[in-house]
Amino acid sequence: MKQIGGGYKSTYEAAGIVGVSYNTILNWIRKGIFTNVIEQDGYNGRPQMYIPIDQVYVMKNARDGGRRRFSAYPALESEMPDDSELRMKKLLLIEEEIIKLEFAIGRLHIMIDQLKDLQ
């Protein structure tokens, strides 16, 4: 079996570093959250997978920063949106929801007035 260099961590090591279960790491590999994963035959007949160490630490930093859900892996830390970009996106979503709520409240007021007229 070929030895993996220092630029990779096993799935078990990655789980310990990131602070998640081994099964979570496997799920992230299946979802494509980790890329460039190397797979080799393990000593017990099961494949052993190795994840690039830079990806492991990007995920650790993201989790340490409070992020808990991941749908895609940012290949480089520089590709991860910064805090101001995330705040701006959240602010826009909140503003959209406020507009929807204001519209719904306006409709409720109309309906209340119509009900009062019926009485």
64-83: pLDDT as tens digits? 888 777 766 554 455 555 66
For residue 82, what are the CA distances in angstroms to 20, 40, 64, 74, 86?
Answer: 23, 36, 15, 12, 6
Can you say how many angstroms the Cα of residue 33 is from the centroid of all Cα atoms in its chain? 8
Helix H or strand E segment including 48: strand 47-52
Q: Which residue has the higher pLDDT, 99 or 43?
A: 99
Q: What digits encode the pLDDT tens for the residues 91-100?
A: 888 888 899 8
With a threshold of 0.95, does the pTM exceed it?
A: no
Q: How many Å apart are CA 103 and CA 97, to the nearest integer?
A: 10
Beta-carbon neighbour count of residue 116 at 10 Å? 8
Instruction: Tell me if residue 106 falls in helix, strand or coil.
Output: helix
